[in-house]
Amino acid sequence: MVIVWNNTQYPTPGPLTGTFYSNGGTVVLTFAGSAWSNVANSGIGVNLLIDGNAVATLDGYTNEANSHKALVPAPFVVDLSAGQHTATIAPAYSNASVDGNDFFTLVVSELAPSASSSG
């Protein structure tokens, strides 16, 4: 298990990036964070990009403007090649924002290959 961010504050200006190494194969990304919007009654969310490709989205909604909301943490299963990877956080919607009042956690857990898959 690799913790890329542990309740890490989003830098202003962004983006928030971090690197991790994978042995390759199936990994579980457990991702949590927060976001806000300056528009009331708006969808908010953030994308998790791995090597520039969106692999996960945390969605939420805000009734009032300018209020930071926790997004429900979620696990996502992805396949990665062996080597170093770059994780990046980006707002998912035009009304969604992240700033220095938002915090993120990303845990990468590699799954061991099953005995039957080794040959």
Q: Does 98 fall in a domain?
A: yes
Domain limits for position 49: 2-112
Can you give the length of the chain in residues? 119
pLDDT digits (tens, 9 = 90+) for 43-52: 999 999 999 9
Domain count, the chain: 1
**For the segment 8-19, what is each residue's pLDDT rounded down to a tens digit?**
888 877 789 999
- d(C-alpha 99, C-alpha 95), whole Å: 13
Domain-embedded: residue 118 = no
Rounded to an integer, what distance in angstroms lies between the CA atom of residue 60 and that of residue 72? 8
- What CATH number does the domain containing 29 carry? 2.60.120.230
What is the CB neighbour count within 10 angstroms for residue 64?
12
pLDDT tens digits, 23-81: 999 999 999 999 999 999 999 999 999 999 999 999 999 999 999 999 999 999 999 99
